[in-house]
Each structure stands twice: as C-alpha cells, then as structure tokens.
C-alpha cells in the first residue's frame, strides 16, 4: 500500500490534480483543476484509492448493506470495493431506460436497507444528492457518502442539510499542504487556492432557515399576505396537513370539511371533478373555511399561455379566482403564465399561486434544471407566487412554502405510478412544509381519526427537524 503522501504525489504526477489557471464550464477562472477520470489508466492506483475509500467507511463505522458509485468516475472505484470486500453493488443509470422496465437503478434494492455512496470529487454535493434521491426512489436509504477529494466548496454542509454525512479521504487544502511540503508547489499557490475556495463556496448560510419556525417565516418582510395567513394558521392550529378532498359531490366534501376542518390548514379541491358545482356550494365551503380557519386551494394546474389562463382563472362556470385563496400552475409555458394569472386580479394580496416544480408521479419529467428554473420564476413573481408543489425542498427562500402530494402513513405506489412517502420523510428528511393527503384519508374506514393521525404525524415531523 502507498502512504497518503505517496498517493498524493502519484495523483499529482498523473495530472489528476493540476495547478495554474483554468477556465471552468461556468466561465469562472480557477487556480486548480481536478480530474480523477485519468485514474482508470492506472489500475494499481485505482485499487489503492478504492481501498482507502473502503477504509474511510470502516473508520467512520458506517453501517451499510450495499454501495453505489456516482456515475461515471466513481463507478470503477465502487466496483473494486465491491469485488475486494464482497459487498453488493447498485448502479445508478444516468438516464432511465426508455424501454422495458424503465429502471433507474440496477441491482438488488433491498427495501429500507442502507446504501453507501462512493464519489471521486465533491464540490457542491449535488451529484451525490441526485444519486441519493434516485436510490431512495428505488427503496433503499442513504445516510453517508465517502469521497476521495472534498474540494471544500460547501458540499459537506449542503449534504449535511440533506441528512447525508460526507466523509472525505482528502480535502483539497490537505492535498496541497502535502504538495507544498514535498516542494511540488509553492506556498503562495496554496494561499491562492484557499482564497478561491472561500470566494466560491456553494453553501449559503441562509439555509439555516430550515430551523426558522413557520411563525418566523410568516413574519419575513417579503412573505406574501396569503402565505403569511397560511403560516399563521399552521402555527395556531398546529397543523401542516392539506386535505385533498377528491370526492365528486359537495354533500360529501362539505361534510368532510366540517368534520376534519379542525385538523387541516388547507383544503385542496379539483373543482372539475364535482358533479354538482354551484355558487351556493362554493359559498358553503367558504363559510366552513372561515369557521374552521383553513385556506382553499384549487389544484387547477394551469398550463397554457398567459392570455388563456387568465380567462380560465377568472371565467367559465367555475370563476376560480373568485373563491380560491391558492391555485397552482405549471412553469412549463414560461413566466407568461404567471403574468397572465395575476393580471386578472384587482387585489393581489388575497390570491396566490404555487408553481409545480416537480410532481409526485413516477417518471415525471421535471429534472433539476427544470426545478431550478421554476424557483427562479417564482422569485421574479413574489407578489403572486408563494411556493411550490414538489417532493422535497427546492427553494432556500424562507418565504416560500413547499407543498408535497403523494403522502401516506407507509411508503408505496398506486396503480398509476403515484408514489407515496411518509409525513416524516417528506417534512423532516426532505424539508417540505405541507403534506397533501387525499386517499390516505378518504379511503380510511374512519376518516376523522385518520385525518387527526396525519395532522399529528406531519406536525411531529416539523417539530423534529
Ligand atoms: P392522493 O389520493 O393522496 O394520491 O391524492 C393526491 C392529490 O394531489 C390528488 O388530488 C392529485 O391530483 C394531487 N397531486 C399529486 O398527487 N401529485 C402532484 O404532483 C400534483 C398534484 Br401537482
């Protein structure tokens, strides 16, 4: 086995770590360049590195059943560990197969078993997190990741925010210190890299808003009045449960709203599935929302050009904008959809919108770039957009509220690909704010008791995070 110093010198020799002036994809000029892909041309070094990664997991006493390398550079490293130590491996596909099973993960995903992620270099931690999300969708849990080189640009803190502990064999400055000692680079190069890293850190301390209470988030200056009302209701009634009242008649909907109103902060409707829509029925729902203090959210999922959604929001037989506090829209058509919706409102302080950043259904097409663009769109329309439909927290802005559908008391999938997660997973682990529950309540033999159970589970998860 090579010593740590010898290994660093080898990495320097094969130019896996280079110093100078490099223009990165982002346009930023960096004094350091790391590319561990070259290692596959040096099998004995690859074996040494893999052994070090495995040892790191041993030292940290990580308990795991399988391992998975982040594609592509860490794949051969994970394979070496798997073969040398007889540990089952999983492979994350970069693209889901478009034929056959559409699997995103290959290998035996034993439900709820822990999978250890192996990575070559971590900068922001996003590749590790993306891999963890896909593994978790496949049913395994991720608690830890081992990386050969931490570039110290916020990845560890970002992953910690997502409840993943990152263990690194080397840090970039640690590698450089060895190279300075061995007189391969000059001390001023180390200083230069240090100040580059400090300036280019992806961890924003604002992320501490995870621990801000709903009340505090309601009090932020930029929080929209509708979001403020919702945060207030949540704290007052101690509930982050939004009931998805997917029934087809108002007698049932009004009865449910009356019976479980005390446990919810919001009721979600699909007005176009009601058999008996009428202004009078909507008036009755409004009255119940005042009596029990909850908001009304029409899950209309607008998806057209601005001019059309404007008419769909205000006109037709439903006149949605007359009665719903919150509605939602796809970001797919671009910002015109938001401008169109809000242009119809005389008073923007009483109506608000959630943008759909991702859906709860399997195989939905929202990738991380789509999510990111949706968050940017929301930020440009803070006078109307108050948050997102998503499966985990997407925005660091404490004024934004995250709503997550696909919630039941146990994980699972329905017959049409709706994926269910538990309140604890959604609120505590994934950092969302509000659980949306439909059939978890409507299909229960005792709907009132079950609604209370969801309210308690959602609130407990909020208090635990
Ligand atoms: P369920 O019975 O708890 O599966 O109902 C979930 C509700 O949330 C249902 O009304 C859906 O139309 C709605 N929904 C969803 O499930 N997933 C999404 O991504 C969005 C809405 Br957007």
Comparing C-alpha atoms, which of 243, 163, 143, 206 is closest to residue 447?
A: 243
For residue 208, pLDDT over 50 is answered with no
Average pLDDT, the chain: 94
Residue 126: phi, psi to the nearest 5? -65, -35
The reported pLDDT for the residue numbered 392 is 92
Rounded distance from Cα 331 to ligand 1 centre (Å): 17
Angle, nearest 10°, between helix axes 4-13 and 43-59?
Answer: 140
The single-letter DSSP state of residue 70 is: P
The reported pLDDT for the residue numbered 96 is 61
Look up 276 and say whether it is catalytic: no
Cα 126 from chain centre: 11
- Bridging pattern class, strands 326-330 and 295-302: parallel
Residue 70: phi, psi to the nearest 5? -70, 125
Beta-carbon count within 10 A of 91 CB = 16
| Structural domain 214-464, CATH architecture | Alpha-Beta Barrel (3.20)
Q: Which CATH number fits domain 4-207: 3.40.50.2020, 3.40.50.10800, 3.40.50.450, 3.40.50.300?
A: 3.40.50.2020
Query: Quick check: bond before 246 cis, omega within 30?
Result: no
Nearest CA, atom 11, ligand 1: 405
438 known ligand binder: yes
Nearest CA, atom 13, ligand 1: 405
439 known ligand binder: yes
Per residue in 319-364, pLDDT tens?
Answer: 999 999 999 999 999 999 999 999 999 888 999 999 999 999 988 8
Q: Tokens 């202004």 identify what position?
A: 279
Provide DSSP, 191-253.
Answer: HHHHHHHHHT----GGGGGGGS-HHHHHTSTT--HHHHHHHHHHHHHT--EEEE---S-HHHH
CB of 443 closer than 6 A to ligand 1?
no
Nearest CA, atom 4, ligand 1: 406
The reported pLDDT for the residue numbered 353 is 98
Helix (H, G, I), strand (E, B) or coil at 14: coil
CB of 437 closer than 6 A to ligand 1?
yes
Beta-carbon count within 10 A of 156 CB = 21
3-state helix, strand, coil in the chain (%, to 5): 45, 20, 35
Per residue in 21-67, pLDDT tens?
Answer: 998 766 778 999 999 999 999 999 999 999 999 999 999 989 999 99
pTM of the model: 0.65
Cα 178 from chain centre: 37
Whole-angstrom Cα distance, residue 316 to residue 450?
36
Whole-angstrom Cα distance, residue 234 to residue 227?
10
CA torsion sign, 135 to 141 to 147 to 151?
Answer: positive
Mean pLDDT of 79-96: 93
**Structural tokens at position 213:** 């209470």
The reported pLDDT for the residue numbered 409 is 94
Q: What Cα–Cα distance (Å) separates residue 417 from each residue in 55, 114, 359, 361, 390?
A: 40, 24, 11, 5, 16
pLDDT interval class at 206 (50, 70, 90): very low
User: Among residues 47, 177, 286, 301, which one is catalytic?
Assistant: 301
Rounded distance from Cα 411 to ligand 1 centre (Å): 15
Which residues are registered as beta bridge partners of 34? Answer: 17
Per residue in 104-118, pLDDT tens?
Answer: 899 999 988 999 999
Look up 301 and say whether it is catalytic: yes
Mean pLDDT of 409-419: 91
210 known ligand binder: no
Cα angle 241, 242, 246 (rounded to 5 degrees) comes to 135
Nearest CA, atom 22, ligand 1: 359
CB of 423 closer than 6 A to ligand 1?
no
The share of the chain scoring above pLDDT 90, in percent, equals 84
- Bridging pattern class, strands 401-404 and 385-389: parallel
Cα angle 130, 135, 141 (rounded to 5 degrees) comes to 110
The share of the chain scoring above pLDDT 70, in percent, equals 97
Q: Do the domains spanning 4-207 and 214-464 agree at the CATH topology level?
A: no
Delimit the domains of the chain by residue range: 4-207, 214-464
Mean pLDDT of 117-144: 93
The reported pLDDT for the residue numbered 205 is 54
């Amino acid at each position: 086995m090579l010593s740590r110093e010898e290994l660093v010198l080898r990495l320097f020799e094969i130019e896996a770590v280079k110093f100078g002036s490099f223009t990165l994809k982002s346009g930023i000029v960096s004094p350091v360049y790391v590319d561990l892909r070259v290692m596959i041309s040096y099998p004995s070094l690859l074996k040494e590195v893999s052994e070090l990664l495995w040892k790191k997991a041993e030292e940290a006493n990580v308990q795991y059943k399988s391992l998975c390398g982040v594609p592509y550079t860490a794949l051969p490293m994970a394979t070496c560990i798997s073969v040398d130590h007889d540990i089952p491996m999983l492979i994350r596909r970069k693209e889901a197969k478009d034929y056959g099973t559409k699997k995103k993960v290959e290998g035996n995903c034993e439900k709820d078993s822990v999978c250890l992620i192996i990575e070559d270099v971590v900068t922001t931690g996003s590749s590790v997190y993306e891999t963890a999300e896909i593994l978790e969708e496949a049913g395994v849990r991720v608690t830890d990741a081992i990386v050969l080189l931490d570039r110290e640009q916020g990845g560890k803190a970002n992953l910690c925010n997502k409840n993943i502990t990152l263990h690194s064999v080397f840090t970039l400055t640690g590698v450089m210190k060895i190279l300075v000692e061995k007189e391969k680079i000059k001390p001023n190069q180390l200083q230069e890299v240090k100040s580059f890293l400090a300036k280019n850190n992806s961890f924003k301390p604002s992320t501490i808003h995870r621990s801000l209470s709903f009340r505090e988030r309601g009090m932020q200056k930029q929080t929209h009045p509708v979001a403020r009302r919702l945060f207030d209701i949540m704290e007052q009634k101690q509930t982050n449960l939004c009931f998805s009242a997917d029934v087809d008649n108002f007698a049932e909907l009004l009865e449910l709203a009356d019976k479980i109103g005390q446990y919810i902060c919001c009721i979600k409707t699909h007005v176009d599935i009601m058999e008996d829509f009428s202004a009078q029925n909507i008036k009755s729902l409004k009255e119940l929302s005042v009596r029990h203090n909850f908001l009304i959210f029409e899950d209309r999922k607008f998806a057209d050009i601005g001019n059309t959604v404007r008419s769909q929001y205000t006109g037709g037989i439903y006149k949605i904008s007359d009665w719903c506090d919150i509605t939602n829209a796809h970001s797919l058509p671009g910002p015109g959809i938001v401008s169109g919706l809000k242009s119809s409102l005389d008073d923007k302080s009483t109506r608000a919108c959630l943008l759909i950043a991702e859906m709860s259904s399997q195989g939905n097409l929202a990738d991380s770039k789509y999510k990111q663009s949706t968050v940017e769109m929301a930020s440009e329309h803070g006078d109307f957009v108050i948050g997102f439909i998503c499966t985990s927290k997407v925005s660091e802005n404490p004024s934004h509220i995250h709503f997550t559908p696909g919630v039941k008391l146990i994980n699972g999938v329905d017959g049409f690909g709706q994926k269910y997660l538990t309140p604890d997973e959604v609120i505590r682990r994934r950092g969302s704010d509000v659980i949306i529950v439909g059939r978890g309540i409507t299909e229960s033999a005792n709907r009132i008791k079950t609604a209370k159970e969801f309210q308690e589970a959602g609130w407990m998860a909020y208090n635990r995070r």
